[in-house]
Amino acid sequence: MNLHDRATVVDGLQISNWSRPVLEELRAGGVSAVNATCAVWENAADTLRSIGQWLELANRNPDLVFLAKTGDDIDLAKQQNKVAVFLGFQNASPFEDDYRYVEAFHRLGVRIGQLTYNNQNLLGSGCFEAQDAGLTRYGRVIVTEMNRVGMLIDLSHVGHRTSREAIEESADPVAITHSNPLWFFDSPRNKPDEVIRALVDRGGVIGCCLYPTVSGGEHVTLRSFCEMVRRMAEQYGAAHIGIGSDCTRGWNQEFVGWLRNGRWKPTDPQHAPSWPQWPAWFKGPSDFPQLTEGLSAAGLDDQTITAILGGNWSRLFSEVMDVVKEPANV
């Protein structure tokens, strides 16, 4: 059995249009677990609908997928040749203005929550705002509540100051599920050393991201991407590096307009956003084996590669999620 098949692979984020064929792409790529986005701009009611769709998809494909509750479910999925889906939010919009929704959505299966998505919201600033005033009063309450119930905090699309303050506020280690260092590619979505360093110092994990607009577009090479991973492992410690592909399988062109503009801004039909081109060596989750080969070619040893492909996410997910969250009898 080759290294990729032996490894337990976890993808730090995908925002695909989920269906059996898309899930089969993950299995074909040897991916045992994924943080699957189920809300970006949706409010609580919209998100309930979205989770209902996930329940149905999981119920219809029990041979292929299940909704994960704990970090231990990753190993279970690997053993059973299934995909453990960790439902995740890319925005705090489903929490609206009610901190009690954190526990409610946790009960519904949500295990990962990004604090902001590009824009300022009730919790803090997104990474595309010109000014970042940091974590808000409500943002601090939500961080504490996410810690309590065992929901992993994600800072990928969060502003730098809000990110630093959330790392400091959180009792648990946090994640950047899908971003790269600024030195690799200059984008507001990527992170300065001070943010990554603070996250690593508190035990967090950053997922190196293949999405073209944060990795360098269709011309980024497997070699340069894997060199980045190797250098990050040296700089921050291999225990703090993961992969977050940010795959967007199965969507039409309209969806990228929804991601960028939601309902907060009209999309100009003359300049409607379109999906970026992915590099030839990574078109989707079925290409994960190539990434493993690239990491080997970059000189990383098997143990380090196994940790980066999934071991580090497993450790972090278990540390945050496998907690007793309810009082009384549970």
Contact positions vs its own copies (CB under 8 A): 44-45, 48-49, 51-53, 55-56, 58-59, 62, 65-67, 69, 73, 76-77, 80, 82, 98, 100-101, 103-104, 107-109, 326-330
Could you write out the DSSP letters of every residue in 197-232? Answer: HHHHHTT-EEEEE--HHHHTGGG--HHHHHHHHHHH
Question: 107 vs 223, which CB is nearer to its own copies?
Answer: 107
Least distance in angstroms from the C-beta of 101 to its own copies: 6
What Rg, from alpha-carbon coordinates, does the chain have? 18
Least distance in angstroms from the C-beta of 321 to its own copies: 15
Least distance in angstroms from the C-beta of 66 to its own copies: 3
Question: 3 vs 104, which CB is nearer to its own copies?
Answer: 104
CB neighbours of 311 closer than 8 A, spacing ≥ 6? Answer: 7, 8
Q: How far apart (Å, rounded) are the C-alpha atoms in residues 307 and 242?
A: 8
> Residue 114 has what DSSP assignment?
E
Question: 279 vs 310, which CB is nearer to its own copies?
Answer: 310
Least distance in angstroms from the C-beta of 33 to its own copies: 12
Terminal-to-terminal C-alpha distance of the chain? 41
Q: Is the distance from CB of 322 to CB of 72 less than 8 angstroms?
A: yes
Question: 19 vs 59, which CB is nearer to its own copies?
Answer: 59
Least distance in angstroms from the C-beta of 191 to its own copies: 33
Question: 1 vs 328, which CB is nearer to its own copies?
Answer: 328
Q: How far apart (Å, rounded) are the C-alpha atoms in residues 117 and 303?
A: 34
User: In whole angstroms, how far apart are CA 116 and each of 15, 81, 95, 155, 238?
Assistant: 16, 33, 11, 8, 27
> H helices within 7-43, ranges in order?
20-28
> Residue 310 has what DSSP assignment?
I
Copy the structure tokens of residue 307. 């940790």
Closest by CA position to 139, among listed 128, 125, 152, 159: 125
Least distance in angstroms from the C-beta of 73 to its own copies: 6
Least distance in angstroms from the C-beta of 98 to its own copies: 6
Question: 105 vs 184, which CB is nearer to its own copies?
Answer: 105
Question: 58 vs 214, which CB is nearer to its own copies?
Answer: 58
